């Protein structure tokens, strides 16, 4: 759940940043994808951390 939410939040953030910098559609797609992947990986780490804490 954190992974999917992180991807969506990252994609929105990346698209907004590219648009604010005056980027074209390809720039917005690239920023959205990269930010989405970064946020998804962070969400994966959060999920793993919570799982390990709750199992202890």
- pLDDT band at residue 49 under the 50/70/90 scheme: very high
Summarize pLDDT for 3-35 with one digit per residue, the tens.
Answer: 999 999 999 999 999 999 999 999 999 999 999
CA–CA dist 25, 14 (Å, integer): 12
**Predicted pLDDT at 56:** 75
Flag whether pLDDT at 42 surpasses 80.
yes
DSSP 3-state helix, strand, coil percentages of the chain (rounded to 5)? 90, 0, 10
Flag whether pLDDT at 40 surpasses 90.
yes
């Amino acid at each position: 759940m954190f992974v999917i939410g992180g991807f969506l939040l990252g994609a929105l953030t990346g698209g907004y940043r590219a648009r604010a910098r005056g980027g074209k559609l390809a720039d917005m797609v690239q920023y959205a994808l990269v930010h989405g992947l970064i946020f998804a990986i962070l969400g994966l780490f959060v999920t793993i951390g919570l799982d390990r804490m709750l199992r202890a």
